[in-house]
Structure 1
């Protein structure tokens, strides 16, 4: 999954996926540090994957599917509905992801949100 999101890594998607919010935000605003860091990340993905596997709680709500939904359909709020957050999902749908700010918030916090949802099961 990390490699698929790496294709869109110039917006930091793979870094957010692995729980690296600060560098993900830097990648988001600098196009992957002007594409150089984005290319270097291709070699760093296996280590980031092992670290993320230790940090986040697995469960019935799938991380990979949630990240695919956020990356490609975040403005529709489908990822939020998948997590059981129907109100905010519908709100995203009618406001284009709260004018993009909600999508950015979810890129920053989705792994923690998923861990919380999975702990409740």
Structure 2
């Protein structure tokens, strides 16, 4: 599939170019909705809520983190294959990834408790 005409066609297609510069995308990115969500009482409530604190230190999380399933996945042929796969290499340099990297979403994620926890966990 990788070198096929179909994939090449999709990559330079009018459809992709149209999507990228579309009004809908621009509108969503800077929309009032996003800004509203970010500073909303709902978000603040979730962050400091008992529910979140409970989840973070829950037995379930600890269970999954050290589970045999996770250890198995990490060393599996499937994971090794994915890591070096053409798909991953292609994604890394893609417009989608470049856009994501600089976006507000990523900046917010990077500094969040969620990311800090993920980074230090066995999962990562």
Could you state the TM-score of these two structures normalised by the residue count of structure 1?
A: 0.26
Bigger Rg over Cα:
2
Instruction: Flag the structure with more relative contact order, 1 or 2, with Cα contacts below 8 A and sequence separation at least 6.
Output: 1
Could you state the TM-score of these two structures normalised by the residue count of structure 2?
A: 0.26
